[in-house]
Structure formats: C-alpha cells, structure tokens
Structure 1
Amino acid sequence: MKSSRVLGTGSYLPSRVMTNADLELIVDTTATWILERTGIEKRHLVSDGETCCDLAEAAARRALEAAGIQASDLDLILVATTTPDQFFPSTACLLQQRLGVRGCAAFDLQAVCAGFVYALDVADKFIRTGAAKHALVVGSETFSRILDWTDRTTCVLFGDGAGAVVLGASDEPGILSTHLHADGSYKDLLQVPGGIGNGRQQDAFVEMKGNEVFRIAVNTLGRIVEETLEANGLSQSDIDWLVPHQANIRIIQATARKLDLPMERVVVTVAEHGNTSSASIPLAFDQAVRDGRIQRGQMVLMEAFGGGFTWGSALIRY
C-alpha cells in the first residue's frame, strides 16, 4: 500500500493587523491581560471583500510551487473551514475553479479547529487506497466575521489566515498515523448558535465557556498524545517537533510538558497569528519548514482541539 508524503507547504496571512493595543480601543480589556492569559500579541484580519477562498488560493499556490507540481496534477482538493464563502458551492469547488482545474474531487470539511487534521486524515486515506496520487489540503478561515466584537472573552482570541499542504503518493512512509475523535455532548461549551435550521442566521457569533474548554482541552490533548505514541511504538524522545493548534500558549505549554518536550522544539505562532482555527496548524507548519527548523526526515506531531468537541492528531515523517 502506498503512503502519502508532504511534498510542499504554503500559507497566507491578510495584510491587515490588529494588535492588543488596538483592541483596547474597542473592547473592555488591556493588552497586558490578553498577552498574559493567551500569549497573543496581534492577529491578522481580512479586509472588506477579502474572502476565505482568496486566502486559500494564495496558500494553495505557494504549496503547489513548493511541491513542484501543477494544479492539473491534483486528484483531490480538500478545504477545512468553518467560514466558507457561501452555503454552496463549497470553498473547495471555488478554489478548484480559481486554480483552473476540472474534474477532480473537491469538497469542504468542517471540524472547526481540528479541521486540518481531519482533512489530512481523509486525504491520506484517498492516497493509501489508490483513489488519488496528489491531494491539496487547505485550512482557511475568516474567523473575524463570526466574532462579536463587543465580547471580550472571544474577540481577542481569533484571527484570519490560510495554510496548505500538497500530499503525494510515495513508497516511503510519510503520514505514519492519524487519530480522530469527537464528542457532541460538549456542544454548548464552544459554538456558533446561529444557523439555517433554527432560523438564527443573523445570530452567527462565537460563544465560548473558556475555563471549561481550557480544562477539557488540556486533558484531551494529553490523552491523544499518548494514543499517538502508543500506536506507533514510540516514546516522547522520538518526536522532533510538536506543531500544535495555536489556541492559547498555556494549552501549548501543557501539551509540551506532557511530551517532556522543550519549548524550543515546539512551533509557536500564536503570538503573531492568534487562533486561526483550521488554518493554525498548516500556517505554523509552513513557517517552520520555510525558516529551516523542520527538516526532511524529522518526526512531526500535529494535534488540535476544537468545537464539537472535535480533536485529532497526525504523526508525520517529513
């Protein structure tokens, strides 16, 4: 059976930047409080008219260039997003049209902050079963558009951006394992209650019970780290890099402690990007690949936790 390997990475951030000092002017908070509680210093936000597909396209083109393949070589396009451009067609289909591709499968996947890991799992299975030779996996979010900018408990946390990887079939192991989970019983702790079914389409803002989410996230991510290592017969010392979902510096530090991994071997972008939901892992991964920290042959553990609750991990030999 073929394995899937990462051939190239790409990312994109909107040019508009909002700092903690900027937030002090519009909501009852302080720059110091935000930094101390979350580790976030600034976040990038889309401008008027800038869409989820715009971000996805920029990240995708950079990943394709890095992979050295043409868009016409793709057999699958997956976009993980919570903030699609429209109800339908999917953002993946819109991206497919932008890339000038016809015929290959293209669809969106919604698992909020765990969306990229979920999408990576799906693409990996397409390649392992021979259904695809090349797959484009994108996490893209315009999360700022579902924030209540008067709610200081949520609006300080999130930002916009996109990250992408191109996977290719290989005889050498690349994606070693993926592990996905969900538990809908926690749906009320982190949600956007607006929707078509309940007729509240104008009430589409993030609601979060932060302390409860934090506690469950730390415990859950610790368990999935153990699950991933056990499934592959590895110990903590075998992991070269942790690329976590960039939600909160305290959650990241707690997961690193679980791995007994020094923070120097953890890719952290939360200070510059905030929480970009499904885009956060591929954004961080691309940054660390491009600046030379993550090298070919190294072992990379990705893990994420998001609304649903959904959570997952991917172990990759880059």
Structure 2
Amino acid sequence: MGIVGLGAYLPGPAVSNESVGKATGADVEWIRDRIGIEARHHAAPGESTSDLAAHAARKALRDAPVEPDLLVLATVTSDRSVPATACYVQDRLGLSGAPALDVNAACSGFVYALTTAAGMVRAGVARHPLVIGADVFTRCVDPADRRTAPLFGDGAGAVQLAPVPDGYGILATELWADGSKAHFATIPHTGGWFEMDGRGVTGTVLEMGPKILSSALDKAGVRLSELNRLVIHQANPRLVRKVGDFVGLEKHVVPDYGRITGNIAAASIPVTMSLAHRERPFQDGDVIALLAVGAGMTAGAVVLRWHEPSA
C-alpha cells in the first residue's frame, strides 16, 4: 500500500509577522529569530475544517487514477462534535457509501490516520483509502497571546493510497502515547484557548521523536543513512532542525516549510510532503520517513518507499 496522490491547501493570503506582531505586541524580529516562522495562513470567516479538507483531497485525487473507498480524517478542529467531519468531506467529494471517520491525535494525527487506513486495508475493509489532515487551529488560539498566536496557522493536506509493487509503499509504522503528559498541551472542553507547556512539549519531542523514528526504521529494515527525506511535523523551524541535528541528518534531507505555514497541527505532515515533492520531486525508490509528536502526548512514525508509476 503506497501513496499515489498528494494534495495541499493553504487558505487565503499569507499572514505576515508584522500582522501577528500588531495583534500580540510581539516583536517581529523576536518571532523570526526565536521561532523561525515568517508567515502562516488563516482560514477565512465561515471557512471550516471540512472546506479545507475537501480542497486538499480534490488536489490529491487529481494525481490518483482510483476512487477512494475509505476516508480517514485527522483533525482536532471538527466542524461539529457530531457527526465526524469526515462525513461532511465524504459528501462534498461524492463518495457516498465509503466509510468515513475522524482521528484525534493532535499534531500526530495524520500519522495515526495513515496507520489506521493501512490497518483497514489489511483487514479487508478498503483498497484505496483517502487520508487527510486538516485543522483550523488558529481558532483555538488566543489571537492576543504572543506565546502561541505567532506559532499556528490553518491548512489541509491529503494523500490517496493504493496497492503498489512489492517492496514499495508503507514499510513500517510505529505509534506511541503517554497520557501522564496530557497537561502539556490542551484545549479546555468547556471553552477557552489552547494552553501549552512549551518546555514539556519540547522535551517530549526531543526525547520521543528520535526513539519512535528509530523503532520504525528497525521494523522496516532501513538504516537512518538510507533516508532520502525525513518529513517532521513542523511545530516550528527551530525544533525541526534540532530533531534533524539530533539524529544526524543533513538539512537537505529534512524539509523545512514551517517557516511559511506555521504549525498547522494534523495538516503539517501531508502539507510538508506535498510542498517538498513539488519543489524537489521524490524519485522512484526514495525512502521517506514521516515523524510527528503531538498533544496527548502522542507520537508516530511511518517509513515508506516511494513508487513512481512512470519509472
């Protein structure tokens, strides 16, 4: 089972550091130097998670010569508590009858969703899953909070899966969670803004990210030196580079698009994949790893070998 279609959607024009600085009182140079983010995108009023997800899905489906028979959506910003936002997306895409469900694992959500879809294929539920990560996380963040508002953006990314030749596609996955660290990043159920213990989150990323990646690589029988690309959740550029440096990978192996997207939660991995493929296309046989750590605390990694049909 491998990726045969990629799509990304970033809403509206980019929101500059100058604009965020005016709202939060944060110094523009501080945002750029301390966080490393230069711009992010905000959904328009009335633009929902399902809107963003449908846009990204349509782009992925343009690449894919198959019709999805399962839709798995990773999000923490569902349109409504009930039903699953995936059902709204399914309807907009005209996929009536295809199973549709949401997965909530925060910034690790896309990796969890991809693993869920792959498991459903093995269980015989589907052959052509569509997996989406989408969030309008800026609506969960106090726009006047200089600690969090500059970090986040909105967006959606999608991948279409289908059978690929043996030796290609998803080689291994690894998931993890530790609920004792749940207080590190939360959104109160009764209302209120996103709250984060920055040191706790950073410490967990640096501790668990490399461990989860190493475990997934071991399962796949792949050495770290064989990676052509490591797509890390773009929490912020400084943290992405720290993880890349910690595992000893050169900058060209670790895509950095968080500087222009901000942290887009569950959308981060598929959007980064899509942008990386657009700028420097993956080649047939490339080994790509996906790595994310998110609220929960949760973490996940996927190792895959890229199949290019025309190769």
Same fold per TM (> 0.5)? Answer: yes
Q: Which residue of 2 aligns with 1:33?
A: 30
Q: In structure 2, what residue type is equivalent to 1:192? A: I
Q: Which residue of 1 aligns with 2:4?
A: 7
Q: Which residue of 2 aligns with 1:55?
A: 52
The answer to whether the 8 Å contact 1:77/1:105 transfers is yes
Q: Distance in 2 between matches of 1:138 and 1:58?
A: 10
Q: Which residue of 2 aligns with 1:147?
A: 141
Q: Which residue of 2 aligns with 1:87?
A: 81
Q: Which residue of 1 aligns with 2:183?
A: 188
The answer to whether the 8 Å contact 2:236/2:259 transfers is no
CA offsets per residue over residues 105-159 of structure 1, 9 Å max, x none?
Answer: 1010000000000000011111223321100000001001111112211111100
CA offsets per residue over residues 64-114 of structure 1, 9 Å max, x none?
Answer: 111123xxx221001100101111221110011101121111010000000
Q: In structure 1, what residue type is equivalent to 2:195? A: E
Question: Which runs of structure 2 are paired with 1:248-267 in the superposition (5 Å)?
Answer: 248-267=236-255
Q: Distance in 2 between matches of 1:192 and 1:82?
A: 10
Deviation at 1:53, TM superposition (A): 0.7
Deviation at 1:17, TM superposition (A): 2.3
Q: In structure 2, what residue type is equivalent to 1:174? A: G
Deviation at 1:255, TM superposition (A): 1.8
Q: TM-score, normalised by structure 2?
A: 0.95
Question: Which runs of structure 2 are paired with 1:169-188 in the superposition (5 Å)?
Answer: 169-172=163-166, 173-188=168-183
SS of corresponding position for 2:73: strand
Q: Which residue of 2 aligns with 1:305?
A: 293
* Fraction of identical pairs, as percent: 38
The answer to whether the 8 Å contact 2:50/2:79 transfers is yes
Q: Distance in 1 between matches of 2:200 and 2:83?
A: 35
Q: Distance in 1 between matches of 2:247 and 2:239?
A: 13
CA RMSD, Structure 1 to Structure 2 (Å)? 1.2
Q: Does 1:126 align with 2:114?
A: no
The answer to whether the 8 Å contact 2:172/2:217 transfers is no
Q: Which residue of 2 aligns with 1:138?
A: 132
Q: Distance in 1 between matches of 2:229 and 2:41?
A: 25
Residue range with higher mean Cα deviation, 171-180 or 75-84? 171-180
Please point out which of 234, 238, 243 is paired with 2:226: 238
Q: Does 1:19 align with 2:13?
A: no
Q: In structure 2, what residue type is equivalent to 1:225? A: L
Q: In structure 1, what residue type is equivalent to 2:24? A: V
Q: In structure 2, what residue type is equivalent to 1:188? A: H
Q: Which residue of 1 aligns with 2:280?
A: 292
Deviation at 1:254, TM superposition (A): 2.0
Deviation at 1:38, TM superposition (A): 1.7
The answer to whether the 8 Å contact 1:16/1:47 transfers is no
Deviation at 1:32, TM superposition (A): 1.2
SS of corresponding position for 1:304: strand
Consecutive unaligned residues of structure 1, counting only runs of 5 or more, are none
Q: Distance in 2 between matches of 1:229 and 1:87?
A: 36
SS of corresponding position for 1:14: coil
Deviation at 1:18, TM superposition (A): 1.5
